[in-house]
Amino acid sequence: MSRPILPGQTIGVLGGGQLGRMLAMVARRSGYRVHVLTSESDAPAAPFANRSFVSDYRDEATFRQFADSIDVLTFEFENVPSEPLCWVPERVPIRPGPHVFHATQDRIREKQFLAAHGIPLPRFAVVPTLAELPAAIEAVGCPAVLKSSGGGYDGKGQFVIRTPDQLTTAWQAIGAQSSTLEQFVELAGEFSVIVARGVSGEFAVYEPIYNEHANHILDVSTSPSGVPAAPAKAALEIAHAVASAFELVGLICIEFFWTHSGEVLVNEIAPRPHNSGHLTIEAHATSQFEQQLRAVCGLPLGSTRQVRPAAMANLLGDLWEHGAPRWEEVTRVPEAYLHLYDKEHPKPGRKMGHLTVCGESSAAAVRVARLIRQQLPRR
């Protein structure tokens, strides 16, 4: 078993966004040094890093310099070039391993990997070209969702095909690239499960977090989720199975569809902390970021016990339409917590921060979170 990475040593984070920012804050508080490799000079993680390497991720010279300066490498986003990850393990451990990113960067590879390990999924077919789409519709049925194999997030690269005469339109809408065609699932709800697995194979799994979306972007997350016991139990077992199949060292988030018939199906996997897990900062004994740190450093995993009910509401750039939001509204609520990501350019749909509210129940917390957010914009 490898030696643990201890305070005083250096955590390398690939990516400089808000997830890297929150990981760096936890790591620095715990006495670690943090080096970040990012393509942006004003990256949100930079103020909390001991050192930032700013370059294109494919710049081999900078990547090697970065790798030589750290003791372990982890990630804050999954769309990283695969080439450098092939030789980094010669220098430092990568957690999660490159094989996890190879699978999850591409919807086709991800679904084929999960199907091969018996993980329940919506019915799907691989569509390399437009010519194969009619046969895929025959196999999957209609309506169905066409999803580009790579690069899609927050609903991008997706098209709902409701009638067979939409095939060409759908293909062009997703960028005319290899894709998956997936069964359109009538949902009772969507939720996520965050799971960590340590170097020695121990697990820490968070109870499901219920997610609501607006315009394909996560809007509000709540925990406890309200998901009934049977589907919640099934999801936790699936999360354990997915982490085992990957031989994970680190932390991943699994997004689930929950159907009216009680089925629990995996939608997709993020091999990193997740937007829905932000509420763990205030609501759980161990936040998802501290858990990531513990897992990648080979330390004992923390408790996933929820201390109090909570709701998280995303703060998008739309709130800045008429100027800086009225942040004083957050301070009026004792158990409301504001997290801003230090991004300079608010744009509609861009995640600029989040708001977490703790309460007597998740329903009460989500009501207050929505009310505060409604009062933030300047009119």
- Parent domain of 20: 10-94
Q: What tens digit of pLDDT does each residue of 56-108 get?
A: 988 888 999 999 999 999 999 888 877 777 777 678 999 999 999 889 999 99
| 69 shares a domain with 44 | yes
| Gyration radius of the chain's alpha carbons | 21
| 320 shares a domain with 220 | yes
Q: What tens digit of pLDDT does each residue of 141-156 get?
A: 999 999 999 876 666 7
What are the strands, taking DSSP E only, across 198-295? 203-205, 209-214, 217-223, 250-259, 264-270
Q: What tens digit of pLDDT does each residue of 201-254 get?
A: 999 999 999 999 999 899 999 999 999 999 999 999 999 999 999 999 999 999
CA distance 338 to 361: 19
Within-domain flag for 111: no
CA distance 95 to 104: 14
pTM metric for this prediction: 0.95
- How many structural domains are present in the chain? 3
| 135 shares a domain with 36 | no
Per-residue pLDDT, 89: 67
Q: Percentage of the chain with pLDDT > 90?
A: 89
| 157 shares a domain with 306 | no
| 197 shares a domain with 163 | no
CA 47 from centre of chain: 22
| 337 shares a domain with 202 | yes
The CATH number assigned to the domain holding 18 equals 3.40.50.20
| 369 shares a domain with 295 | yes
**Residue corresponding to tokens 């970021």:** 289
Using alpha carbons, list the distances in angstroms from residue 368 to 161, 213, 306, 308, 310: 37, 18, 19, 15, 10
Phi, psi (deg, nearest 5) at residue 287: -70, 160
CA distance 30 to 287: 13
